[in-house]
Amino acid sequence: MKECVCLNCSTPFKTKPSKVGKFCSRRCAGIYQLNDGVCTGETVDGQGYVQVYQPDHHESASSGLVYKHRLVAEKKIGRPLKPGEVVHHKNSKRQDNRARNIEVLDGHSKHATLHASLRRQEAALGE
């Protein structure tokens, strides 16, 4: 196998020697093109959440990726998130990681309650 580094997210990955090996995933190739060939250091997971390659972060996965909304939340509250804390996207758009769209909730049950009431509001509006 050939060792490569993704042009978009800088994640090291392995590929067949016959392959060019520019991107770790088709998704990264897409993001790179969308940004006019600029490395954004970001990738999007299967659920639509943006992840950033930051292997030194306390919440990074074995792949070195960390959820961007959690990084933004930590910046916003000025301290690292605790394991039980959940980060919510106020406008429900998982890729909108602007600080004002980010809210920290302590615990999954609060988060679930919030989503349930959001769904009721939407139903009341007839959507």
Q: Does 24 bind Zn ion (CB under 5 A)?
A: yes
**Which position among 21, 28, 73, 102 is part of the footprint of Zn ion (CB under 5 A)?**
28
Alpha-carbon distance of 97 to 116, in angstroms, equals: 22
Q: Does 81 bind Zn ion (CB under 5 A)?
A: no
* Total binding residues toward Zn ion, as defined by CB under 5 A: 8
Using the Cα atoms of residue 100, residue 92, residue 57 and residue 53 in order, give the sign of their dihedral. Answer: negative
Q: Does 72 bind Zn ion (CB under 5 A)?
A: no
Applying CB under 5 A, the span of 26-34, 44-52, 94-102, 117-125 interacting with Zn ion comes to 26-34
Helix, strand, or coil here: 63? coil
Provide the greatest CA pair distance for the chain: 57
Q: Which two tokens stand for residue 111?
A: 């988060």
Applying CB under 5 A, the span of 14-22, 25-33, 34-42, 73-81 interacting with Zn ion comes to 25-33
CB atoms within 10 A of CB 12: 13
Applying CB under 5 A, the span of 8-16, 32-40, 73-81, 93-101 interacting with Zn ion comes to 8-16
Helix, strand, or coil here: 48? coil
Q: Which residues bind Zn ion (CB under 5 A)?
A: 6, 8-9, 11, 24, 28, 43, 88
